[in-house]
Amino acid sequence: MKARLALWLACLMFTVQCAAAELAGVKLDDRIRLSPAGPELVLNGMGIRTRFVFKVYVGGLYLPEKKTTAPDILSLPGAKRVSITLLHDITAQQLTESLVEGVRNNGSPAEQEA
């Protein structure tokens, strides 16, 4: 019984790790290097950007180490990477408008002014 429980927990942990790197059919590596000699970055998280009812893109954030707060992420030295995978054919202008709207909706006027 204990062996089955241990096996089930091991499978569950493996499934959770794999699922963390896939969202809306987009798979991102858990770890990447920006260059062969560069530092290794880890996938910190993923999200979907929607506009109206349409899923526009999946974004992923890679950092030198996992962080949970914006101040910790912004103060983290070293390389960082944002990965954007489009889910629909859109123009550069539509993507730009979506990114600007996202920033506008997630920051106070004072933060945007700064």
* Mean predicted lDDT score pLDDT of the chain: 81
Selection from 10, 101, 6, 89 nearest residue 49 by Cα: 101
Task: Please check the confidence at residue 10 and state whether its pLDDT lies above 90.
Answer: no
pTM, 2 dp: 0.70
Give the pair of three-digit tokens for residue 6: 């241990």
Q: Is the pLDDT of residue 104 over 60?
A: yes
* pLDDT higher than threshold 50 for residue 12: no
